[in-house]
A and B are shown apart, each in its own frame.
Chain A
Amino acid sequence: MPFGEGWLFAAFPLEPRVTLQHEVRKDMVSPGAPPIISMRNVAKFFGPFQALTDINFSVRQGERVVICGPSGSGKSTLIRCLNRLEEHDEGTITIDGIELGDDTKDIRAVRQEVGMVFQQFNLFPHLTVLENLTIGPIRVRKMDKPAAEVLARTYLDRVRIPEQADKYPSQLSGGQQQRVAIARSLCMEPRIMLFDEPTSALDPEMISEVLDVMVELADSGMTMVCVTHEMGFARRVADTMVFMEAGRIVETTPPAQFFTNPKSKRARLFLDQILEH
């Protein structure tokens, strides 16, 4: 790690909830607590094509899950179901005690607690970096503007681009844009962060700056679900590896076992393919 643990506390305001999250450590994921994310028998269809089949999956508070698998295996669909960017067709999804259904209020309540980072960043191009960060707190959390800006600058510091606050997204590099996108999600002070291939659209030299921020976030105790091909990152932060293929979860294992001795033949094949390069 390029920065010490104390740095985090110094850069961070002492808000109760955030402080609580900081106190959760990797080895302190409470095993007895009810899961914060729970998917039961979830299925999802795109027309006749079944994208997800019988997904059973749960995440505990503070747990870091990395989902991997070949392309088209349903990783993105799964993660997008968690904040209802995709609607599941069968089964139940419960996030922090709220079951996802057609109730738009419930959906918005869940989305406020679940941050999402996209492959293509999806920053708002007509707003400055600072405005990208404050629009959620101001419009959704009804925070007043000065307080939202203080919050936004805190998180810009945290992703290490405080000097870019007044620029527009198009003036930033890909890595910087993705860090702004992470900060934008964090400004909503979510309890869970979802990452949908956050480094896949980046030039190679920019991947590590984004991963550094994600590692730091993981170390702070954030509950995270990441779809990524960055196996170094997975090895470093994951509590649980989920391997998917053809819309099913094939295996759920701790990383130590997943990388050395995966249970399924498919996972072994997949690892061989991506690790040999």
Chain B
Amino acid sequence: MPARSAKRLKRALSSRPVSVLIYLSVMAALIGASLKGAEAMGYNWQWYRIPQYFFEHTEGGVTLGEIPWGLVGTITLSTLAFVLALGIGLLVALLRLSDLIVGRAVARIFLEFVRNIPLLVLLYVFYYVLGPIFGMDRYTASVLCLAVFHGALMSEIFRGGITSIPAGQWEAAKSIGMTTGQIYTYIILPQSIRFMLPPMTSEVVNVIKSSAIVSVIAVVELTTVGRNIISDTYMSFEIWFTIAAVYMVVTLIISTFASYLERRYAVQD
């Protein structure tokens, strides 16, 4: 009997209305606490000033404000970095899986190097050290830094995807005389996309989130825009809540799209 009632309790707790209720009360407590804290320190809420950073009313009509432009900056930066990271990741993965001892060593060193230093330090290395040496501007340095950092992480996704294809596929392709390049292009990679898709989309989200770090070298994107607005207006609470919400909306849209893709690919098998 106790086991049964425990089960019933568990089921009740995980039912949708109860979950929503718990979620709402936690959120209410959090928001209540912050509001109370803000009130205690005499914070002057000025939410009415936020919309102008989304849409500006000018003589020519309504134009996009600073925050949407910051978002465009973030998306451009992330897209460039992601595409480059895909290339780097695939290259590093193929080197690690190759027969060449030198190739494997290079890949391994690169991976350990990048994985074991903080992103912020890597950015400083790119901007303050490699930047002057190779004459890179801050935007190029940011894109390359993000690409290298996420390329290292993605190489593990590629490697996982590639090694999850059974050895028999390699043998069959070899036995009809294909080259290693052909086997990857026509047999292995097309099949491993299914395995790589879910972690890759979460990597897209990670790139967008870590792109915020380039605000420390004043590259224009969403976080930098937030900092700039705050230094003009001192509305740090409103602006950071807003910026966080914008990031969340973007990454939630991507996650939703990702789970849709996952379901579609899963059915095809």
A: residues with CB less than 8 A from B are 83, 85, 104, 108-109, 111-112, 114-116, 118, 120, 122-126, 135-136, 139-140, 170, 181, 184-185, 188
Contact = CB atoms under 8 A, between A and B. Distances in A.
Q: Which 8 A-B pairs have the closest CB atoms?
A: A122-B172, A136-B176, A122-B168, A112-B177, A116-B175, A111-B177, A140-B177, A108-B177
A201 to B, nearest CB: 11
Nearest to B269: A170
B172 A124 contact: yes
A116 B173 CA distance: 10
B182 A140 contact: yes
A111 B191 CA distance: 23
Contacts of B172: 116, 118, 122-124, 181, 184
Contact of A136 (B169, B171, B177, B179): B177
7 contacts: A111-B176, A122-B168, A125-B191, A140-B177, A170-B269, A185-B175, A188-B177
Contact of A139 (B171, B175, B186, B191): B186
Interface string B172-195: 111111110010001100110000
A201 B220 CA distance: 61
Contacts, number: 60
Contact of B174 (A111, A120, A184): A111
Contacts of A140: 176-178, 182
A118 B177 contact: no
Given A122-B168, A135-B186, A139-B186, A188 B269 contact: no
A104 B178 CA distance: 11
Contact of B191 (A109, A126, A188): A126
A85 B235 CA distance: 68
A188 B168 CA distance: 18
Contact of B175 (A85, A109, A120): A85
A124 B175 contact: no
A2 B251 CA distance: 63
Contact of B169 (A109, A124, A135): A124
A136 B176 CA distance: 6
Contacts of A118: 168, 171-172
Contacts of B191: 124-126
Interface residues of B, number: 17
Contacts of A122: 168-169, 171-172
B175 A115 contact: yes
Interface in B137-191: 168-169, 171-179, 182, 186-187, 190-191
A83 B175 contact: yes
Given A116-B172, A122-B168, A184-B176, 16 more contacts: A83-B174, A104-B179, A111-B174, A111-B177, A115-B175, A115-B176, A124-B173, A126-B190, A136-B176, A136-B178, A139-B178, A139-B182, A140-B177, A140-B178, A170-B269, A185-B175
Contact of A120 (B168, B179, B186): B168
A144 B129 CA distance: 52
A188 B177 CA distance: 9
A116 B175 CA distance: 6
A89 B191 CA distance: 33
A126 B187 CA distance: 8
A116 B176 CA distance: 8
Nearest to B182: A139
Contact of B176 (A109, A120, A185): A185
A112 B178 CA distance: 9
Most A CB contacts (10 A, CB to CB) among B172, B187, B269 go to B172
A112 B176 contact: yes
B148 to A, nearest CB: 31
Nearest to A184: B176
A120 to B, nearest CB: 5
Nearest to B179: A108
A83 B174 CA distance: 9
Contact of B187 (A104, A112, A124): A124
B265 to A, nearest CB: 11
Contacts of B174: 83, 85, 111
Interface string B120-143: 000000000000000000000000
A135 B182 CA distance: 10
A243 B182 CA distance: 37
A170 B191 CA distance: 14
Contacts of A126: 190-191
Interface in B179-217: 179, 182, 186-187, 190-191
Contacts of A83: 174-175
Most B CB contacts (10 A, CB to CB) among A108, A112, A124, A181 go to A124
Contacts of B178: 108, 136, 139-140
